[in-house]
Amino acid sequence: MVEIKPLRMPDFETVATWLSNPAINQWLASGWRGKQVDAKTLAIITMKSVNRLFLVRYQGVPCGLVALGCIDTLDKTGTLWYLLGNPAHSGRGTMTEAVRQVIRVAFSELGLRSIMASIMVGNISSRRVLEKNGFKEVGILRQALTFNGQAVDRILFDLLAVDLATPS
Amino acid sequence: MVLTRESLLNYLSTELGLHTDEIDDDTLLFSSSLLDSFSMVDLIAFIEKEAAISISPTEVSLDNLDSVERILKFVQNHS
């Protein structure tokens, strides 16, 4: 069973370890990349209302993080990002379900109208998580990311609350 | 070591790019988005080094760190 809960102090260390793991860190936004993340960093991130971080647990065991950042209550938008901390859960649909639950929070509880997400070109597993949750590809920012020293494209997705309300 | 108002303002200006002549001691730095999260990480590291204190995650709060005034008060009361 997959569940999400707001990220709080006792779990900061666990999540900081994931974020600092080079295998995970290399995929993160530039602000995180190459940095050693600690519990203090997460305390800072979570104390700002524009960020909502959720710990993902599978059968009670922490295994990932789903976050909404850049929450704009005026334009009713937010940016989704996520990571799987425990690779043993890869391919099981854990993140797909966790993202689905966060989307519900975003639209129902926070009243957002649109959620944006992006992936590095070629990140198939991350793309699958978005597409299974109804995200639509809306554009490509060419050479907008640096990966292993190379410029790579960033693919943009969005999901509207009305998309979920309207049967496709 | 002692964290002074001058050294704090100097850091905010030279390292974090704030126009310190435009902020007051009670100007909210973080909740107003003058500083982003990663600037706050750097700021806390500076405070720890300058004041020779260790700030725990439980002490990271807007009450303690969201303005020049709050930072100086927090450091002053930190044991």
Q: Tell me, what's the pLDDT at A127? A: 96
Mark yes or no for CB contact A48/B30 under 8 Å. yes
pLDDT reading at B44 higher than 90: yes
Q: Tell me, what's the pLDDT at A18? A: 96
Q: Tell me, what's the pLDDT at A168? A: 56
Instruction: Give me the half-sphere count of Cα atoms (radius 13 Å) on the Cβ side of residue A75.
Output: 10
Q: Give the integer Cα–Cα distance in Å for B67 and B24.
A: 9
Mean pLDDT of A152-165: 94
Residues of A with CB below 8 A from B41's CB? 40-41, 44
Mean pLDDT of B39-50: 94
Q: Percent of chain B beyond pLDDT 90?
A: 85
Q: Tell me, what's the pLDDT at A167? A: 63
Q: Tell me, what's the pLDDT at B75? A: 96
- Provide the pLDDT confidence category of residue B46 given band limits of 50, 70 and 90: very high
- pLDDT, tens digit, for every residue of A4-44? 999 999 999 999 999 999 999 988 888 888 888 999 999 99
> By the CB < 8 Å criterion, does A42 face chain B?
yes
| DSSP-assigned letters across all residues of chain A | -EEEEE--GGGHHHHHHHHH-HHHHTTS-TTTTT----HHHHHHHHTSTT-EEEEEEETTEEEEEEEEEEEETTTTEEEEEEEES-GGGTTTTHHHHHHHHHHHIIIIIS--SEEEEEEETT-HHHHHHHHHTT-EEEEEEEEEEEETTEEEEEEEEEEEHHHHHS--
ipTM > 0.85, yes or no: no
> By the CB < 8 Å criterion, does B46 face chain A?
no
Q: Tell me, what's the pLDDT at A34? A: 87
- pLDDT, tens digit, for every residue of A97-137? 999 999 999 999 999 999 999 999 999 999 999 999 999 99
Give the residue from A37, A153, A14, A135 showing the smallest Cα distance to A86.
Answer: A14
Exposed e or buried b for every residue in A141-166, given b needs 16+ CB within 10 A?
A: eeeebeeeeeebeebbbbbbbebeee
- B60 closest CB neighbour out of A43, A49, A50: A43
> By the CB < 8 Å criterion, does A41 face chain B?
yes
Q: Give the integer Cα–Cα distance in Å for A32 and B61.
A: 21
- pLDDT, tens digit, for every residue of A72-94? 999 999 999 999 998 888 888 99
Mean pLDDT of A136-145: 97
- pLDDT, tens digit, for every residue of B10-27? 999 999 999 999 899 999
> By the CB < 8 Å criterion, does B57 face chain A?
yes
Reading the block at residue A1, the tokens are 């069973």
**CB count in 10 Å sphere of residue A15:** 25
- Provide the pLDDT confidence category of residue B69 given band limits of 50, 70 and 90: very high
Mark yes or no for CB contact A47/B57 under 8 Å. no
State the greatest distance between any 2 C-alpha atoms of chain B, in Å, as a whole number. Answer: 31
pTM of the model: 0.88
Q: Is B46 left (phi over 0), alpha (psi -120 to 50) or beta?
A: alpha
- B37 closest CB neighbour out of A12, A38, A44: A44
Question: Which of B60, B61, B65, B67 to mutate: most A Cβ within 10 Å?
Answer: B60
